[in-house]
Each structure stands twice: as structure tokens, then as C-alpha cells.
Structure 1
Amino acid sequence: MGLRRTLRADVGNVISVVYVVGTELSVNLNRSAPPSSKFFSVKCSSTVQCSIQPPSQETSLLLPQTLQRNQLLLVTMSQASQSENESKLSVRYYGEKKEVLGNAILHLTAVEISLDVDADRDGKVERNNPNKNSWKWGKDGYGAILLVNCDTEQSYWKKPDLEKDSITKVSDLKDMSPMVLRTRGPAKLPEGYKLTMHISKSDAESIRVFRSGTSGKSTNTISGSFLYSFFVQSHPLVLGGNVLSEEVPYVGGDSEWNYYVEGIRFLDRDFDGSVRIHLSLLEPVTRGIPDTPIFTDTVLFRVAPWIMTPNTLKPVEVFVCRVPDNNKLLQQLEVIVARGGYKLNICSQFETRGDRWIQDEMEFGYIDSPHHGFPVVLDSPRDGKLADFPLEELLGPDFGYVTRTPTEKKSNSLDSFGNLEVSPPVTVNGKNYPFGRIIIGVAFPTAETGRNMTQVVQDFLWAQKVQDPVALFSDWLYVGHVDEFMSFVPAPDRKGFRLLLASPDAAYKLFKGLQNDGHGGARIFEDVKDAEPESVDEILGDEDLQLANNYVQNCIDWNRDVLKRELGLENADIIDLPILFKLVMSKKSRKKKALAYYPDMVNMIVLGKDLAIPKPFGPKVNGVCALETEVRSLLEGLGLTCTFIDDFTTYHKKFGELHCGSNVRREPFKEKWWNMEM
């Protein structure tokens, strides 16, 4: 039995009572009895079930029973009433000689009330699911899911729909979670009784609730036909903002009211994603005295997290900015993208205002629920000349937008999203991360100050839970982004991927091998206009360069150990790419920071099995770049195709590479986040 409600009986008066099917009424017989009462009996309609606690020795409650201290009469009804006060219950009290001392009479009206959601996550709003007010992770879990309504249904409305408190198009309903109020009972409730829906003030900051303008039979399916069948011109706001409580209709008979719940806030440091909506039946007392709740039904929603997509997922579309000096690069990239059958979006100079670093401006992800899902772009606090692009060019129907704005400081280079990556799925010490783990770069954990990703973005990323972040040390780099020394590529074996790390040691080993084989005079940057050629012998003879790269290798090895530990990797899961760095003085920090010495091949674009890699212009052996040859030997055995693209002038000389100048939207995971074991 569900909720037990204590009920007062009054000798000499008739009390009208509304009973909610599935609950239990409890009458303290001794408390209600007249003075000197010794016995009692109970008579009730056939629709009412009664029992005594503790049990009586008498077989029938119609016979006088000995009245015991703290004896309870428990009352239930199994179905809704056809009319008001149609069921009766009377308690008769007797004295010492079984003389009648008085009667307490109850007139009962039974109603069925349930506030329902898709608690079993099958796309249907089932009736009175026992788990509708709780949450459990996993494939055998339960709990309703709520999307943040962060897309826009209007082409002219360049703000997420969550910023308006009305529904103007039927298509907006699919971004919301359905909720159904079901009632069954007489044509009307006894006088003064009413239903009210209510939320807490804190939850009002996270959700809004709209009601369909009419009631009717629900199909119980979350589909286009369901939404269109019940869409009318008026969908009033019921709860949200300053509206914490609203009386809701009771129309009698077997009825349903359809509601739509809208998420307006993502998970964050001060919001775990759980919200509750309550439905209460209120009982009148008398004029001037507040009504009292006699029954409350509660449903719980959990807001869907924002999920990043790793390089191992299939690309959907590639974004790159057109700038005056990258026409040839775009042509080469167009061939690779077309080969994979993906869409290439070349953003015009008008759209980008000459800013080429589209990776730094935004990160693609998505949100998902059993009834709907869509991509969501996370806009970085970087706010360069591309600042308006994610909102103005990407936000639209079924394409959401979210951002976090720093409050504690001005943004720095580590706030750009070349400093935000995500691993493929991994298992670490028995814990499964089916969506991978987010990776960010921060300052080294010492007392010395350094650059860090702004805290509001870090708080947002950590709050999503399903991709538990890993912090790496990236402040040693001039730009400071993790994509300057690491990337992931798909692989047919082991964990399904390889981690690529930049490695000065691998570069020196390669160059020493060239020198030993008599190629010490081979030069990097041959035929490059904007660089001075330098021989292998000169590079190996530069002691300052060697010391600088020893430092860089130490920094990368520190991160290597973190990644092995936090991603459950072994050495065989990691491939070292031969890349050298140089130290240059940072004007802002007045400290030396690292830049790639030649184009940074780890900063690549991963498009399925096609890799677009910065052309390193390394020393040539028999007319072929030795660096390219080495990278091909490391990656093509995994079934990957390496295409080297000249980005020397367009990106490398401006402290970036191909990955920095591109962005890829990918398909979402087939795995559902709510099935994850936490």
C-alpha cells in the first residue's frame, strides 16, 4: 500500500472525504470515541474495504468490538467513484452495556490521480510508474529525462528557445519532455477540494512547464502524431520563473491533461540536474484558514548532460574558415572530405571576419533523451572575431547553443577550445567510460601562478558527469593547448584507438639515424619561402635546442603518465610522433614557452580513416620527406591514410596548425548516456 493518511472522525457529524485510490486512510478509533466508550462496530459500503490494527478476534466488524488503546481503522477503496459521496462508512460507539453512545459517519469520494512521465525511458508516458520519483543509472535503471531547450525554432530568433517563456511553434514541443496528469472519478470533486501543481523556487530556475490547451485521451507515445494531435494555439505557461504554484483542472470522468516540461539550465557546479514537479490534492478547512494537502504525487526529471564526440566517431561535417592565404589548402582539404562523403562548410570571410581559428572558438557536442536529441555547440569564452559565429550561424532548429562566460578574470589562451579534447571510450581499473573522458589543459600544479582554463568552463565540464574530465599540464606551451601535443586516431585492434603524442625524443632518434646513414646534410624547410633551411647536422649540433626539447619531453612525459593512468593505457596504445619544439619568450608571462619547430603533425584533422596532417617539410632522403615517411610507417599499418597538407604560411607561422584551423561535427554515440553505470 502507498501513502497512509491519518483521518479524523467526528461523532455526531458527517464528514465528506476525498480518497485517492492507492493510498490508505487511518482512523484512530480511540481518539475519535466519546468518553466512556468500550466497544465499537463498523459498517461500510461494498466499495470500501476496512480492517482493524491490531486485529480483532471478532470475525465481522458489524459486531461490537472491544475498543483498545491506539486501535486503528484502516480504509481503502479499489476504484474511483461514479459520483460524489457515493460510498459510506460509519463507526458506532457503545458504552459498558453496549448502549449506543454515538456514530461517526464518513461520506467517501474515491478518485484516481497520477502525474506521469516516461520513467522507464521507452518513449512512452506510462501510468503511475512506481519509479517516477527516483533515478537509477544503468540499463536496468529508471528515471525521466529532460532536454535543455537550447535550440531555436525561429530563423530570425538568434537566441535559444529557453530565453523565451512561450511556445509559438509545434516543433518546439519535441524539445520538451511530455508529462501527463491523469484523473478518474466523479464529474466534480466535493466543494472546496482542488488540485495544484507546484515546484520549488530553486527548480523554477531550471525548468518551465506548459499545459496543452485541451484534455483528452493520450496515445501515450512520444511521436510526431502524438505531438500534433494535442497541439493547440494556446499552450499556457503553468510553472516556472516566479510562478511556483498553479491550480490545475479537474474535469471528471476518465481524463488526461498533457503537459510539456522544458529544461532551461544545463548541469553546473550548483545544479546536479535533478528537478521535481509535485501535484497535490488540497482539502478545504473553513473560510480564512489555508487549505491542507492530503495527497501529493511527485515526478523527477534529470537534465541530459552535454556530451562531446571523440575522433573515433564518424564525421558529419567539417568547418574551416576561408582567409586570403588558404585557397590551396582548402582545395586539398576538399578532396579529403569528399573522399569520405562528408559535408564541407567553408565559412566565408564575411562570416568569420578574417579569424581562421575555428577550433578555438567552439566545441561540438550533443544532448539526448529517449524521445529526441540534437547537436549542441559549446561556445568558448575566447571571443575573437569569430565570437558571433556559433550563435549567428549554427543556432537553429534542432541545433543548440550553450556558453559559459568568465566572471573572475579576462579569458586567456587556455580558454580556447584547442585546449578541450575528449578521449574515445575507455575502461580504467574496472570502471567503464563509454563516452570517453574530457581532456583539458591547465597550469602545472605548483604554487607558482600560471594560465588556467576559466573556472566557469571547468565547472560546466565537470558537472556533466558522464565524461569525467582529466586535467593535463599545457601551460608550458606558448599557445597552451592540449591539441599541440596529443591526438587520438581510430585503430582496428586493442582499445579501438591510438593516442598520438608529440615526441622530441622520437625526432632526435630519427635525425640521428639520418646522420648515421650519411644524410646529415639533408635540410628541413627546403623550398619553403618563409623559413631558413637547416640541416640535420645543424639541428643535432644545437645544444640550446637540445636542452629546450629535453624540457619539452619532460612536460609531455608528465602528461603521458597522467593519460596512461587516467585512461587505462599501456605503452602499446601510444604512438610517438617525431616533433621538435623551440622555446620563445612570452610577452605576457615574461617566461619561455614552447612552439613547434616545424609544422606540428600531431595537430591533425581525423576524418574516419583519413588523416589530414600538417606537412612538416622535413629532411629529404631520395627526394622523400623523412618525417612523412616515419609517420606513414607508424600510422598506415592501422589502416589509416595520411595526406600531408601545406599549412606553413597559413597556420604554422601564426602559431597553429590544421586542427586549430578546422572543426568537425560528428555523429553522436549509439550508446545511451542513461545506461551508463555510475
Structure 2
Amino acid sequence: MAQQRWVRLSAEQPTSTVCVLGTELSLDVCGSAPVGATSFDVWGTAGVNLYIVHDGEVLKIPSCVPRWPLEANIEAVITMDTPSIKVNSDKVRISYYKNNGKGPMAQTLLHLTCIEISLDVDTSRSGTVNRKAKNKKKWTWGPEGKGAVLLVNCDRDCLGAKDMDNQDLRVESYADLKDMSLMILTTSGPEDIFDDYQLILHVSASDHDKVGVFHAKGGKKLNHYKHVLGSGKLSYAVERDGFQENTFYVEGLAFPDVDFSGLVSFHVTLLENPSAAMPDVPIFNDTVVFRMAPWIMTPNTLQPITVYVCSVKYNADFVAAVSKLTAKAGCKLIICPEQENRSDRWIQDEMEIGYVQAPHKGFPVVFDSPRNGLLKDFPFKGVLGPDFGYVKREPADKKTVSGLDSFGNLEVSPPVTVRGKQYPLGRILHGSYFPSFQGNNMVKVVRDFLYAQKVQQPVELYSDWLVVGHVDEFLTFVPAPDRKGFRLLLASPSACYQLLKVKEQEGYGDALMFEGVKKCKQISIKKLLSDQKLRNNNNYYQKCIDWNRDILKEELGLAEEDIIDIPQLFKSRNCSGKAEAYFPDLVNMLVLGKYLGIPKPFGPILHDHCCLEEEVRRLLEPLGLSCTFIDDFETYHEYLGEIHCGTNVRRKPFSFKWWNVIP
């Protein structure tokens, strides 16, 4: 339905107003009628379309204009098809009659100026601005959805800048403009009409800190882009400068969060100034809506682009092994030197690399965890840069941060379908305490942020049974050519005991674990199997994993055929009862396409081969995966982490566009 405006008329003097293209003017026929009038007729110049609404029927007035009864349920409506050439060049006249009188007893005259005003954005999500689109006030999800997309301009395109691009009120580079979305205000009609009318571009008070708007003033220099909205500026009187089109660049300042839906509306309002002594009157409004692009995580099944690893004291062999694997997988390797990591090797815990995407542009964004270890400066100083964004959430009370807030405790599944509902971007997985009143949980600000992104609905798992408490200690995903395109790998004490029992029955009970490991006591299969305390503990840990297995099957729509049990034992640390890996944790691996970097378990050597390695190969290589076992025992395992904890990966974004999701 077209925007409609009520116009009051006067028989004492002509009335002047504007008619905005695409809108309707409803004339106050009865209000201006003289006493005693019983009928009326309407006449308009050639550029005016006249309609009568009578008893709910819309009738276009024919060339032979009849008289209409002057009744309360009658209405005259006018529209115009093209902008006027001159001010007041079009006219409408209403004549009033008494009974069957031949001549009018009174007349009202309306002077009209038709102008075009349209605020336009990329509502079709095609990468170009859609002119005069309908339903611009709504933003809808799905393949048939409409509404523009805005990127949070959280990268740093200008070399030498100290902060992110959305932290200033200037356009620092032409690359900066490419991160913004276009918004175009089109106006046409007689230029002097704007002597009495003013256009105001504005945003609501609740959104001023979520967006920034720059007006392109026509020049080619960066200082010709004027900051006009956002960061405290709620409105802007548009400086037209004789141009029919005014181009604005819009940047996002904030991601969706618990107190921000991600939707931002911009309005352009036409104000009429009846007199210098009176305030302006709004007579037309056009509105467009943007949704802020969410931060999106990438699962192991997506193509790796860059691998990150820290160089610390005594881990040169580990870095060399990771370097060799990344070269095999065709990835770039970035080594964070010790002067930057300050001997903090846990680069997975410090950050998670995802991305943002709009129809015209996308770039990776590093999410800096509230962990704030010695690596805390690396995401901002070493990762943030041109077309590489940055975001962080941390609680006001730093004492509330626990091990569950490190991002080894943050994973995402590949795309899944659950009970008919599709999750084409997968589902975020994070660990928490067992449902009770005690235990640790991920801090609220991070959890709220993850849930607010909407497109990867999180699943909470139970990870507080572990000393470190991270989900990557008992699960990972690997690509597969069949079924759902992946397999879920779960650490399994039961599978490990079953394997070792078979080897004992085959006569290898005296084979030793941990051969070749310095400062680690070797133990035979027979003795390990007879350790009842270790067995009891692992029975409990298996129950914890099985609890998560059931959650994952239900929330990811998995069958048993989608899960592979990887042999693994855990041991209790001190008297806490919480678990750490007994030997290097096999599921805590680096997944680079078909190439897997797996912690070397130092299991019993049978026929010159580690039986644990052979079992992992038997389980994974039929999927087309290549297993490389990397020694991380002294450099990571003894510090309660493994290969995945000590590496990080930037991956190719999903080909699926997030705005096609139906949350």
C-alpha cells in the first residue's frame, strides 16, 4: 500500500503542497465544503491522477467529470507519475454545489509540485543498490528474503593506524570504503522547491553507536567523505549541492549481541517549513533496514588457508613437523615468534578465526578470547590488519574468567540437518559444567555473543569433567566422502581398553607404552590393564563422554555410523578427580583437508609399529585421510595440551550465504 498523506484545503485561499512520487494525497473534501453544499466535482491538470473512493470502491474520475454526493464516506485521492518541471505547475480544483445548482457555490484550489525522493540500498543482496524497491522497511531471512547487509568495519586497512577502522570518524583509505555498504538518496524535481522544504537523514537514538555514515561530497579526496551520522550524531540535514543523487557509505560499528538484534533502520524525512516562527512539519518518510553481518565460525571440513603456530623454547621440531604438514596441505604457515608470544604456546586458546560476509565483500575476523594469557596482544597486534577484522568480548570482572573461556573450548560442527531443520553453517559447540549449581561455565558475555549471531545455534556440552575443560580434548570432526560429508571423532576409553585387551590376548601383554619418551615411566599392557583405579576412573570418563555423545547425536542429527571412537585413556590429576590425557590425546589433532596432524601416542610397539597409531590409521585412512603422527609429548602434552591446542587455522568461508539461513 502506498504511503498516504491527508491534505486540508481552504475555499478562502489556494493551498500549496508537494506530492512525492509513489505516494498518495487524500484531500479533505468534506472539511473544506461550505455550509449547504450537497455535491462536488474534482478537476486536475494533465499530470494528476484523480480517484474517488465511495462506499469502499475506488473509481478513477472519467474525462466527463460527474458530481459526487458530499457524504462522510467519500474521499478524493490523487497521485502523480512524473516529477514536476516547475514549482506549483500542477493543480487540482474542487467545486462545491448546492442541490442541483448549475454553478459552484465555492471552490478550493490546490497547487502541486511533484518531486521524487527515494532512499535505496541493496535489498536484493545482489551486490548492487536496488532503485525504488518495495518493502524496504522489513528484513527477512531465507533464499526469498529481502533486506540489506552491513559489515562491521572491524579491520584496519590503513597502515600505521592504531585502531580498527570503525573506531574513528574518518575515511582513512579507499580500501576502507570497500568495507562499507552503499546507500543512495535520489531526489528530483524543481530545485527551488527545497527553499521551503528540507531533507533530513536520521537514525534512532538506540542505534547511533551501532553505525557510521559518510556522505560522499563529490570530490576524489578522502576528506570529501564527510561523517554525518553515528557516534552521537542522530540526524543530518542533507546538503544536496544541486545533485539528484547523494551517495552515502555506511559502516557497522557493533556485532549483534544480547542487547542488539543486529537490525538498524535509516530514515529520510521531508520537512515542510510553514513559517520561520514555527517548527518544521514532517510530510514524507522513506525507510531502509540493514542487518549487521554475524561473526561466523568455520569447521574442520572447510578448506584450510593459513596455519598459525608459536615458536617457543624447545619446540623447533614440532614447528618443523607442522610446517611440513602445512606445505603438504598447500597452506600458508605463520609462526608467532617468542618475543611476541612470550612463551605462551596455546594459540588455539587465545583466539578463534571466523569471518563476516556481505553481498559485496567479506573478510576474516579473529575473535579474541577473554583468556588473556601472555599471547593476549597477538590477535590485535599480529592478526588484525587490512581485510582482517578483530572482535573481543570480556567480562567486567576478570576474576570470573575460567579455563572454559579459552577457545579450545569453542568448536563448530559441519553443516547438519536435525529433525528436518537445516543448519547449513553448522552449530557452535562449547563446553560447560554438568547441569547443577556448581562448576564452571563460559562467561556470559561470550555465550551471549555466540547466541546473538543466530546462524550457528550453539550446543552446550559437558566438559568440566576435564582438568582443562575444553571440548577439543574429547571430540573433533574430519571430512569424509560419504554420508554427511564428515565423521565425528570421539575419544573412547572403552575402545582403548578393548584394543589393549585384544593385544594382551594375542600374547603382547609385556609390550611397553611410552618407549622412547624421556622422563616417563614405561608400563606394559598387562600392568596397565590390571590398574583397577585407572580402569574405574576411565569408566567414569567414558560416561561423561557418552553423555556428550547423546547430546551430539540429538542436536546434530547424527547416527552411530557418523561417529568413530578413537582409543584414548585419561587419568585423574592429583585428587581432583578431573581428567587429563594419559597419553597424547589423539582427537586433539590438526585437520588440514585430508591431511591430519595427530599427536604421537607412544603406544605399545608391535612388529615395529605403534598399535595405537595402527588402529587410528585403520579407522581413518579408509575415508581417504592421511595420518601424520607428530611428537608433542614434552612440548605440549606434559603441559596439558596437544597439537590442536598449539595451532590455529584460518579456513575458507562457506559458499552458503548466511542470509539464506532460516533461524
Mapping of 1:645-660 within 5 angstroms? 645-660=630-645
AA of the residue aligned to 2:326 = V
Can you list the C-alpha shifts for 1:157-190, whole angstroms capped at 9, x where unaligned? 2321111121121111111100000111112216
Deviation, 1:60, is 5.2
Tell me, in whole angstroms, the C-alpha distance in 1 between the residues paired with 2:70 and 2:425: 64
User: Please, which moves more after superposition, 233-242 or 269-278?
Assistant: 233-242
The residue type equivalent to 1:31 in the other structure is G
Contact 2:310 2:347 survives alignment (8 Å): yes
- Work out whether 1:51 is the aligned partner of 2:51: yes
- The residue number in structure 1 matching 2:213 is 209
1:192 is aligned to 2:196: yes
Partner of 1:325 in structure 2? 314
Cα distance in 1 for residues equivalent to 2:8 and 2:614: 88
Amino acid at match of 2:143: K
Q: CA deviation at 1:42?
A: 2.1
* CA–CA distance in structure 1, aligned partners of residues 89 and 506 of structure 2: 103
TM-score normalised to structure 1 length: 0.95
1:554 Cα deviation after fit: 0.3
Is 1:120 aligned to 2:124, yes or no?
yes
Residue aligning to 2:612: 627
Tell whether 2:237 aligns with 1:247: yes
* CA displacement, residues 88-140 of structure 1 (integer Å, 9 cap, x when unaligned): 11212233445533221111000011000000011111211113221222222
Give SS of 2:223's match: coil
1:47 maps to a residue whose letter is G
* Equivalent position of 1:225 in the other structure: none
Matches of 1:431 and 1:536, distance apart in 2: 46
Seen in structure 2, the aligned counterparts of structure 1 residues 56 and 382 have a Cα distance that, compared at 3 Å, is closer
Which consecutive unaligned segments of at least 5 residues does structure 1 have?
215-228
Amino acid at match of 2:170: S
SS state at 1:592 partner: coil
**2:661 is the alignment partner of 1:676:** yes
Q: Which amino acid aligns with 1:501?
A: L
SS where residue 528 of structure 1 aligns?
A: coil
Contact 1:530 1:649 in 2 (8 A): no
Q: Greater shift after overlay, 406-415 or 568-577?
A: 406-415
CA distance in 2, matches of 1:182, 1:94: 42
Match among 349, 357, 371 for residue 338 of structure 2: 349
The number of residues matched between the two structures is 658
1:621 is aligned with what amino acid?
A: L
The C-alpha deviation readout for 1:305-364, integer Å capped at 9, x for no partner, is 100010011110111000111111111221111111111111110111111000000000
Separation (CA, whole Å) in 2 of partners of 1:333 and 1:100: 94
Q: 1:230 to 1:98 in 2, by over 3 A?
A: farther
* Separation in structure 2 between the aligned mates of residue 442 and residue 606 of structure 1, nearest angstrom: 24
Superposed CA RMSD:
1.6
Between the aligned partners of 1:646 and 1:500, the Cα distance in structure 2 is: 20
Q: 2:441 aligned with 1:438, yes or no?
A: no
Residues 55-454 of structure 1: pairs in structure 2 closer than 5 A = 62=65, 64-96=67-99, 97-189=101-193, 191-214=195-218, 233-250=223-240, 255-408=244-397, 409-447=399-437, 449-454=438-443
Could you tell me how far 1:40 is from its partner in structure 2? 2.1
Query: Which amino acid in 1 is paired with 2:184?
Result: V
Per-residue CA distance 1:24-83 (angstroms, 9 max, x = gap): 111121111111222322222111111222178995575544322342111111110011
1:617 paired residue number: 602
Match of 2:528 in 1: 539
Alignment of 1:464-483 (within 5 A): 464-483=453-472
Matched, 1:560 2:563: no
Distance in 2 separating the partners of 1:245 and 1:191: 19
Cα drift, residue 141 of structure 1: 1.7
Q: Which residue of 1 aligns with 2:648?
A: 663
Q: Quote how far apart the aligned CAs of 1:250 are.
A: 4.0
Deviation, structure 1 residue 630: 0.7
In 1: Cα distance, 2:597 partner to 2:502 partner: 26
Identity of aligned residues (%): 52
Residue aligned with 2:547, SS: helix
1:504-653 equivalences under 5 Å are 504-585=493-574, 591-653=576-638
Q: What are the Cα deviations for residues 623-673 of structure 1, in whole angstroms up to 9, with x where unaligned? A: 211111111101111111111111000000011001100001111111111
Q: Distance in 1 between matches of 2:122 and 2:29?
A: 41
Q: Which residue of 2 aligns with 1:6?
A: 6
Q: Distance in 1 between matches of 2:449 and 2:72?
A: 58
Distance 1:24-1:518 versus aligned 2 partners, 3 A rule: same
Cα distance change, pair 191–91 in 1 and its aligned pair in 2 (3 A): farther
What is the distance in 2 between the residues matched to 1:496 and 1:232?
48
C-alpha distance in structure 2 between counterparts of 1:612 and 1:100, whole Å? 94
Give the 3 Å change call, closer, same or farther, for CA 103–155 of structure 1 in structure 2: same
For 1:230 and 1:45, locate their aligned partners in 2 and report how far apart those are by CA, in whole Å: 44
Q: 1:200 to 1:56 in 2, by over 3 A?
A: closer
**Separation in 1, partners of 2:351, 2:363:** 16
C-alpha distance 592-77 of structure 1, shift in aligned 2 (>3 A): same
* Stretch moving more, 286-295 or 503-512: 286-295
Paired position in structure 2 for 1:35: 35
What is residue 224 of structure 1 aligned with on the other side? none
Give secondary structure in 1 for the equivalent of 2:622.
helix
Aligned counterparts of 1:530 and 1:494: Cα–Cα separation in 2? 44
Could you tell me which residue of structure 2 aligns to residue 220 of structure 1? none
Aligned-pair CA distance for 1:249: 3.1
Q: Gapped runs of 5+ residues in structure 2?
A: none
In 1: Cα distance, 2:206 partner to 2:484 partner: 43
Amino acid at match of 1:628: E
TM-score, structure 2 normalization: 0.97
